[in-house]
Structure 1
Amino acid sequence: MGRLVAGRYLLLRPLGSGGPGRAWLAHDQRLGCEVALKAARADPRNLPPPPYDHPHLVTVHDVVEHEDVPWTVMEYVAGAVDLRELVARRGPRAPADCARIGLAVLSVLDAPAAGHGRGVPHRGVAPAGILLAPDRGGAPYGRILLLDHVVAGSGEGDALLALGRTLYYAVEGREPSDDRDVPVRAGALGPLLERLLGRAPGPRVTVAEAEAELAWIVTPQTETYARPRTDPGSQPPWSAARPSVPRPATSASTSASASTSASASASASTSASASATAPSSVPASASADRRTTTASPAGHRRPRLRALRAALAGGLGLALALGGVWYALADRAADGAGTPYGDAVGLVAPLEDGDCVRARRPGGTRFTGTPRLTVDPACRGGAPDGQVMAFVPASSAEEARRQGPARCEERTREVRDRLAGVRSMAVVPAEDGFETALRRTACVVVGADGPLYGPLGRHREPGSVFADTATMQRRDCLDVRSTREARLVSCSGRYDSQVLGFTRLAPGVTLAEAPAAADTACARQVPPRDYGFDPSLYESGSRTAAGAWKSGSHLVVCTVQRQNGGTMEGNGP
């Protein structure tokens, strides 16, 4: 640090590995702005002329030489983290997230600006060469940028093989070791990974085929089966069994419409009672005429008796039906058959939105085997492991098993991106409990290292006290009462600090040493100026909690606050 490159660029601090060469944050003394500098991987004469204009490439401003070493001068992307570091911090990414990354890489492969025909050596993408940064909409990893220019080729520098290894690392959290190392978290991405890695029989996947498969994963088809097309003029089956009642000619069209509506809404019990009590030799039209014409006193009593019998029969039928449903459900709950998610999960009622759960794993090993769940609907039972955040409907239990986990990864991605140390867990309906589970998979966000200690995301109430830092999320505004108490408040008013991100302290740091160490780590790794805060007015802060030390994660929350201790207002720059 403090080194001057090419007499113009002052190195400030390292930004990360970024591949073989270290990237640095530097100050351009000529233009008075911040840039990123990195030792070039090739002779500058072999690089395409800057700037390279592509939405998924870090903009290259210039290539300079310093002490016979070529340096690439690039744009500085605030808030960016490379894929390798992100996976190391927060665990494997969702298949849909990995598919978005793959599409970004493939778009660079097809772009002329990537260096095709310019003599650029063949090289593939690596996790450390992919940056994920906040986009304009505020999504923390919505912008995908490549540090190096990826060029399709063959042999050692095969970009598609490198892409397969990169996506495998992103979705599994580790490098593929050998041909027998099959992906277990890839979901819908699995078949494409096998082809990218050259493990599937037949020719390797092409760029066009990979793009089509990744695009399907990012935006999956909503219809998983062909819907039957209904003739708009057809009548429901039960309408044929009920002859139409004669109407005056002047209201024929109205009568037909009313007849169709009435037949569709008639209850099964009433229809059955009417057919059982009315003599088969008497047409329905004749019966209707007798109800509308003057008759003898006995004739008046007969329709009333018939109506009374119909009502009694309908009530008795309804009582028997309800009793049968109760008996069936009670019997299924008693013998374990028909439970919504199977006997291993143990729940006898379907999960609801916002339910907090505790998960007890077989053998006590986290994320192995099927967890046995208990529900805390109020989310106040001490330290819940997770909370239901979304649902994925399905047309069958088989479809839920096949698509539920991957779809849950997609549905919970937004809330997981704003939290730290969490994972997605899909609670899939059992075969004989599919209807009981309301034909849907429950998507639960659970703590990756330990309990979550309270509600998440939209289920939190303004003014509530954080029981632990585990439920704090990016851009939360805090009313800090003391070092131990912080409340969630609206960012539209005044508040004391705002959450910017997260970091982890070294395993040797004790809980007593954590506050001082966390302030230093946050100032270095999550500096407020990277988020647009003026360093002359704002400073870095942090919050720690005992839960992170009980779980061994040593995760701390990095915040921003005013230097003079005053309050803040608004949601940031």
Structure 2
Amino acid sequence: MGRVIAGRYLLLHRLGSGGMGHVWLAHDRRLACEVALKEVVFREPAGAEEREARVARARAEARHAAGLRDHPHVVTVHDVLEHEGLPWIVMEYVADAVDLRELVARQGPLAPAECARVGLAVLDALAAGHRRGVLHRDVKPANILLAPDRTGAPYGRVLLTDYGISVQPAAGEPRYTLASALVGTAGYLAPERATGGAPTPAADLFSLGCTLYFAVEGRGPFERESQLAQLTAVVTEEPRPPVRAGALEPVLRALLAKDPGRRPDAAATEALLGGIVTAQADGANTRTRTGPSPERRWSGSPARPGPSGRHRRSRVPPAVLAGLLALALAGGGAWYALGRQASSEGTVLPYGEAVGLGRTLRDGDCVLADWPGGARFSSVPRLTLDPGCRVADGQVMGFVGAGSAAAARGQGAAACEELTSEIRGRLADVRSYAVVPTEDGFADAGRRTACLVLGAHGPVYGPPGRHRRPGSAFADTATMQKRDCLDTRSNRDARLVSCAGPYDELVVGFTRLGAGVTLAEARTESDAACAREAPPGDHGFDPSVYESGSWSSGGAWKSGTHYVVCTVRRQNGGTMEGDTP
């Protein structure tokens, strides 16, 4: 940072890194604008053969991408230059872009129609390259950028990037890779490429199929624990049956055929994807997510720590259920509202009158849930938004798409169970809940089911999981999760902090105190209970250095669960950093 490249480009900060090097945001002093610069980096030691191959590959990348510089779905390359003997590629800087891998990690899988829209754009870029004889060879989620378009839609612009290992075989161009090297990304490499075959357009389309599978399912079709296992699966195993793909499933099945001769070509793939995309789906699936909630503090309770009490809120009377079917599924639960989609005032209700929401749920929305009769997960809940996320019963953690409302009703609950499984495993007392759009509200809801985590026995009192902000105070122990690092400021004030720096305690699990234990008594009994149920030694900590700690709060006592959060801390009261097993 701060270097000036070729006397013109001032490096501002690094945007990302990959196998070929780093990408920087830079200021072009001559034109007074921002650009992206790709720097080739050699991992020591670099032999002469590797160095020559990488330099030549960078030049080829610039040449191939520059040949597509007028294409709307390819990141524009402006120039390639040499600085201190190494090539630098000057590219268009795409502001506010996020790659597909990061977007899915942040917001959950995309709806099938949105995946089809993205797929059409990438296919258009690939086909343009194929017509010039250029094969990309590394189509994967990390190489697809989504950015705001001219209308302001946050992910309306789709761009294929990183032609770093592309080739142009018909031009007699040398392949700048070692003969023993496998070029591509395990899990996204076509089987004929994994077994040493030549790159072809069909191989790029196989990789596109893997990418779209990831986008709609949230994981790759051949995802395994190691690269070798992924390559083996690509060659010898069928992809996992998709559960969220809906109308996209036949396209994925065709693109992921082992035999390249059985895969559809670009024109046929375009026809298949184009049949899925609709104008409504395009507009409905490009909404921005809500931001994290403001910081909250614990207060008032003599226990360690506890809220002063949940704010009172009026109970919304349950809507008339005539013409509606409510179905609670064991484990997660889902509601299915059939019938009218508008209130008596004419407001569109994408999830039906029973739920009563006047707009589509968005990622990160916190909700209050009123259950007719008071029994949780036994009927259709009346949902209202909790904008401050202060006393929330739960939060939207992602979405699963479907090809039809019937498919959403049939698959939504199971898909949400899978989508929320990781976060539920890290929290003490939550359940998955699928909010499925009605038949008439299916398009308005973006053709997708909203996946929530709701407190199993009471509110969660704030945002859980990735919606929490580092440095924020916990409003209740209900949102503490395993492997959280805590900054303990008092016995009633704990903050979520990064585990990369100093912290006071690490959350390792949960235990439950007896029904007769009061909240005041929990302060003296919970440490001993955690020492029995979650001792430091069970989690790889030296018991001569570390001890058990605990946190309790009023929410668990109001719900009757008496859950206690168990932590590990240093016996001498010092901070922990860099010593987590």
- Give the shorter-chain TM-score range: 0.3 to 0.5
* Normalised TM-score (structure 2): 0.43
Task: From the CA coordinates, give the structure whose radius of gyration is larger.
Answer: 1
Flag the structure with more relative contact order, 1 or 2, with Cα contacts below 8 A and sequence separation at least 6. Answer: 2
* Normalised TM-score (structure 1): 0.44
* Structure with greater proportional helix content: 1
